[in-house]
Structure 1
Amino acid sequence: MTVFGKKISAALASLLLTLTALWGFAGFAVFADPEETTESTEPAVTTVEDDGIVTAAERKTDLLNEVHEDAPQISAASYVLYDANSGSILLGNEYDVQKEPASMTKVMTVLLALERLEPDTVVTITPEMAAKIKEIPGDYVKLSLQEGEEITVKDLVYCAVLKSANDCSLALGMYMGGTEEAFCDIMNAKASEIGCLNTHFSSSFGFSKPDNVTTPYDMALILNEAITNTNYTEIAKTLNYTINATNKYSSVREISNANKFVNTTQYGYEYYIGGKTGFTNTAGYTLCAAAKKNNRTLVGCVFNAADANIRYSDLIKLFEYGFSTFATVEITESEFAPLIEEARVQMDDLLSDTNLYVSEQRIVLDPYITTTSSRAQLGSTNRIDLSEAVIDTSAEQQTLEIPLCKAYSDKTYLIGTMVVVIEKKAGVVEINPEKKTNLTNVRSVLITFAVLSGLILLLVIVLLIFRARIIKRRRDEVTKRANML
């Protein structure tokens, strides 16, 4: 190959490399005209199969799909460990299977009482209440409320939580609902409100009924609601409580907390912030509890535990594993500020030659995500995915929802959106309303530039060849004339 041929080959190779590089860089596409672009744009964050993007809905159970070989062995038939900050289920078995909660039912009754009633309100035990109390089986725990007895809401609540007094929980329910059946309707409405999809209460205190059911996950939601929005924690952690004298009892009554997280050293847990035990012959031993450490709140529930004690050790193992193996990361708008500013500048530039402008911009972020501690320790990067953002220049108003992601070494979480509202400028008349301004993406611009550059390069090469031939012809003519002389 001649030297000149080598130069041409090198030039063509350079052009090919330039096109390849520009194509790869343009993968971060921003806008495409929906009528003029038919090929799909390669996203800044790839598909779920390629890069493991986890959406907000998928995060609830995503960690359950990972293998945790060192996870604790739990004896309870059904259980769940729930991260209250992020809404993720960390560990679980049959966590969505309906089962009888027994006295854990009282968490919902007390939650409603704390929301709806003043603690100093005096409740009078009506004949209807007294008749229903007599129907409670003899082996169920009771305070022995009497017909006509006057007792405060506060005393009833403490007895329901600490002593698990079934008559106190029934009295609260009937006071709020008029009848227990009506109150159960209130309980079920509240359960639906907080996201419980598999819960149906037919008892205000946890009577053993086949249709008084919930799940470990739903029970975690109910307890979390109680500890978050009421003073349930203060009540549940109380060791001893004094019931004031009533018109039926002339002296005070002392009760102690029956929960071993509070009243024992063996099962005492320093991070415990509230819970409730339960037991019936059909439900077995049940327990729900919440724990808080370093501003992280975990909620655990076990159903059908083997005995009264093992349910405590089961939950302690779940809590310890949850706090050590998983990390809950707070998401703040400030960490996305540079990316958002860059995207906004790019968007404004693209709209500068149109009759459109950004009328509103806001950020919607999930407050927390939970992942494994090992993954979190390796660090993460934030991404803004502009690949699917499409502007229709004929629309009067349009809203773009641009995904915001947090990417770890092996997994990417979708954690929010950048919401952008684009409108037409007032008083601007379109010359051709049928024509859409082609806000081509970065890839199209760069490829066009590369092609034009390549054509210019080839033209220069052709001109150089033509010039070289002319020079050679002239030299040959000069040589021929010299020889003739």
Structure 2
Amino acid sequence: MRKKKLTGRVLSLFLSFIFLISSISSSLLADNGTSSSETGNDPALSNPVEDLLDSDPSDLPIVGADSYLIYDASSDTKLIGYQYNNLRAPAAITQIMTVLLALEELEMEDTITITKEMYETIPDDYVRIGFTEGEIVTVEQCIYACLLKSANDACMALAIKISGSESAFVEKMNERATGLGCSSTRFTNSYGRSDSDHKTTCLDMSLILKEALRHPDFRKIATSSSYTIEPTNTYNDKRILNNANRFISTPATAYEYYIGGKTGFSAESSYTIIAGVEKDGRTLIGILLGAGDAEKRYQTLIDLFEYCFTNYTTTMIDTTEMTSVVSGTRTQIEQAIVDTPLKITNTDLRLLECYSIQTSLANGGYSNELDLSSMVIDPTADEQVFSLPIYRRFSNNEAYCIGYYTVTIADPDKVTESTVVSELSGKKSLKEKIVPIIVGTILFLCLIISCLFLIKMIKRRKFNKNHRNPTIL
């Protein structure tokens, strides 16, 4: 029995060793392999205007709000604004983030069973649909209730449906805001309840609405004039929801380009409003925080939108316009390296899709330039990569960086030779590492066989000893 156990242990040890050797070999092969992914070092394309496009606009309509911003979502440009990065209370426009998360994580036909947690903490003077415990409603009904009536119980129902509790949902709200580039926003509740820590900015809310407007359902619901919630398991009558947004409900402030948004009010925030509009392929987002009048905020936003459509333009960049400047640059580079072994081995042109600018400047014409000032070629280097900025210069001599022309210059012979040597070196290194492992495995195998043979011999001797013929006296 002991011999069987000993033999089993030896075999187990041997198999473990073989597994270890196989793992090491696989690791070595992986380490000496090549990766298909490479990290680029090209500069990122970004809006050429970091701050306001026009910091001192003339003949601007009177705004009447603590903070405001008109943001061009197409070109990612802040056209005009005031204190747009200052923290303010958003009130019910908070619900845009809740609806956005619902559109991203739930299906419209999903059902929600109302619990007390979804309405009992809402202050009495806040708007509600009047859902009751045990009532079964759909996600679609709740989203309509949020966007058309600012129904806070519907908003809470969505939040708890998604995350199980409002506190867990608030964490998700803040994570999503950060992911959208909101650098200042901090939400503490799902629907905009007054709280000294519940704050956002005009810019951050513009980024949130920009993302929400990517969803066709958001646009459809926000621009609906009314919606009917049919009787439910606990409520026998229809609930008719008329859109409270005056861009839709009131002829005097109806705006044909409106594609979605939200309003809000609280004693702390005063009146708030955010809206997206679309005209001639351009998408603008306007927001007022701390407005002084419920009705005037609509007309103010319309006036600001019209001002921006008139005084600023968004221009698409046509790649074919760069043909001559790129061709000329390539010729210059080739002439500079003509007496060296260097060649242009690769080029890449990356351009912004569009940019925004004052209409007066756009009408004055422009020229395209490729900046070679940072390009210093080393004739002894095997390979060099240069990212050359492309500028669009306007009549006032102002220039926008609208893209990059990346040029790779190399000595083809050296690059090829270097690649071959590197591959051979890698193979040699791999061989040097694996050979000792193989030799060690063979030696260990020999040792195991010897041990097994020895055990067998001992066992045979003992058997012969126990079975000798008895001595006859």
TM-score of the aligned structures, taking structure 2 as reference length: 0.75
What is the CA–CA distance in structure 2 between the aligned matches of 1:185 and 1:395, rounded to whole Å? Answer: 51
Identity among equivalent positions (%) equals: 40
What is the CA–CA distance in structure 2 between the aligned matches of 1:289 and 1:57, rounded to whole Å? Answer: 22
Q: What is aligned with 2:341?
A: 355
CA-to-aligned-CA distance 1:110-134 (integer Å, 9 cap, x gap): 01111111111111223xxx23411
Alpha carbons of structure 1 residues 427 and 157: separation in structure 2 relative to 1, 3 Å: same
In the alignment, does 2:218 pair up with 1:236? no
Asked if structure 2 preserves the Cα contact closer than 8 Å seen for 1:216 and 1:302, the reply is yes
CA-to-aligned-CA distance 1:389-433 (integer Å, 9 cap, x gap): 122233333221101111111111111111122333145799xxx
What is the CA–CA distance in structure 2 between the aligned matches of 1:378 and 1:64, rounded to whole Å? Answer: 17
Matches within 5 A, 1:298-337: 298-337=284-323
Q: Secondary structure at the match of 1:277?
A: strand
State the 1:167 CA deviation: 0.6
In the alignment, does 2:184 pair up with 1:203? no
Asked if structure 1 preserves the Cα contact closer than 8 Å seen for 2:382 and 2:414, the reply is no
Alpha carbons of structure 1 residues 397 and 222: separation in structure 2 relative to 1, 3 Å: same
Alpha carbons of structure 1 residues 123 and 359: separation in structure 2 relative to 1, 3 Å: farther
What is the CA–CA distance in structure 1 between the aligned matches of 2:108 and 2:308, rounded to whole Å? Answer: 35
Asked if structure 2 preserves the Cα contact closer than 8 Å seen for 1:111 and 1:230, the reply is no
Q: What is aligned with 1:416?
A: 403
What is the CA–CA distance in structure 1 between the aligned matches of 2:414 and 2:405, rounded to whole Å? Answer: 28
Q: What is aligned with 2:54?
A: 64
What is the CA–CA distance in structure 2 between the aligned matches of 1:297 and 1:321, rounded to whole Å? Answer: 14
Q: Secondary structure at the match of 1:60?
A: coil
Question: Which of 257, 271, 274 is the equivalent residue of 1:271?
Answer: 257
Matches within 5 A, 1:50-199: 56=46, 59-65=49-55, 67-126=56-115, 130-199=116-185
Letter in 2 for 1:371: I
Gaps of 5+ in 1: 1-54, 431-485
What is the CA–CA distance in structure 2 between the aligned matches of 1:116 and 1:421, rounded to whole Å? Answer: 44
What is the CA–CA distance in structure 2 between the aligned matches of 1:327 and 1:404, rounded to whole Å? Answer: 20
Alpha carbons of structure 1 residues 427 and 111: separation in structure 2 relative to 1, 3 Å: same
What is the CA–CA distance in structure 2 between the aligned matches of 1:109 and 1:271, rounded to whole Å? Answer: 24
Q: Secondary structure at the match of 1:81?
A: strand
State the 1:229 CA deviation: 4.1
Asked if structure 2 preserves the Cα contact closer than 8 Å seen for 1:291 and 1:298, the reply is yes
Asked if structure 2 preserves the Cα contact closer than 8 Å seen for 1:60 and 1:87, the reply is no
Alpha carbons of structure 1 residues 254 and 424: separation in structure 2 relative to 1, 3 Å: same
Letter in 2 for 1:413: Y
Letter in 1 for 2:411: K
CA-to-aligned-CA distance 1:126-181 (integer Å, 9 cap, x gap): 3xxx2341110111111111222211111111111011100111111111111111
CA-to-aligned-CA distance 1:249-270 (integer Å, 9 cap, x gap): 2343211100000001111011
Asked if structure 2 preserves the Cα contact closer than 8 Å seen for 1:244 and 1:251, the reply is yes
State the 1:382 CA deviation: 1.1
State the 1:312 CA deviation: 0.6
Asked if structure 2 preserves the Cα contact closer than 8 Å seen for 1:355 and 1:428, the reply is no
What is the CA–CA distance in structure 1 between the aligned matches of 2:94 and 2:73, rounded to whole Å? Answer: 20
State the 1:68 CA deviation: 2.1
Gaps of 5+ in 2: 1-44, 418-473
State the 1:354 CA deviation: 2.8
What is the CA–CA distance in structure 2 between the aligned matches of 1:416 and 1:271, rounded to whole Å? Answer: 31
Asked if structure 2 preserves the Cα contact closer than 8 Å seen for 1:76 and 1:314, the reply is no
Asked if structure 1 preserves the Cα contact closer than 8 Å seen for 2:57 and 2:80, the reply is no
Runs of 4+ in structure 1 over 6 Å off: none
State the 1:184 CA deviation: 1.0
State the 1:57 CA deviation: 5.5
In the alignment, does 2:362 pair up with 1:376? yes
What is the CA–CA distance in structure 2 between the aligned matches of 1:282 and 1:178, rounded to whole Å? Answer: 29
Q: Secondary structure at the match of 1:59?
A: coil
Asked if structure 2 preserves the Cα contact closer than 8 Å seen for 1:330 and 1:369, the reply is yes
Asked if structure 2 preserves the Cα contact closer than 8 Å seen for 1:78 and 1:216, the reply is yes
Letter in 2 for 1:418: Y
State the 1:247 CA deviation: 1.5
Alpha carbons of structure 1 residues 288 and 393: separation in structure 2 relative to 1, 3 Å: same
Greater Cα shift, 394-403 or 101-110? 394-403
Q: What is aligned with 2:210?
A: 224
State the 1:329 CA deviation: 0.9
Alpha carbons of structure 1 residues 329 and 58: separation in structure 2 relative to 1, 3 Å: closer
Letter in 1 for 2:229: I
Asked if structure 1 preserves the Cα contact closer than 8 Å seen for 2:312 and 2:358, the reply is yes
Letter in 2 for 1:262: I
What is the CA–CA distance in structure 2 between the aligned matches of 1:360 and 1:174, rounded to whole Å? Answer: 54
Letter in 1 for 2:401: L
State the 1:77 CA deviation: 1.3
Letter in 1 for 2:80: L
Q: Secondary structure at the match of 1:371?
A: strand
Asked if structure 1 preserves the Cα contact closer than 8 Å seen for 2:48 and 2:402, the reply is no
What is the CA–CA distance in structure 1 between the aligned matches of 2:379 and 2:161, rounded to whole Å? Answer: 61
State the 1:212 CA deviation: 1.1
What is the CA–CA distance in structure 1 between the aligned matches of 2:142 and 2:413, rounded to whole Å? Answer: 64
Q: Secondary structure at the match of 2:349?
A: strand
TM-score of the aligned structures, taking structure 1 as reference length: 0.74
Q: What is aligned with 2:271?
A: 285
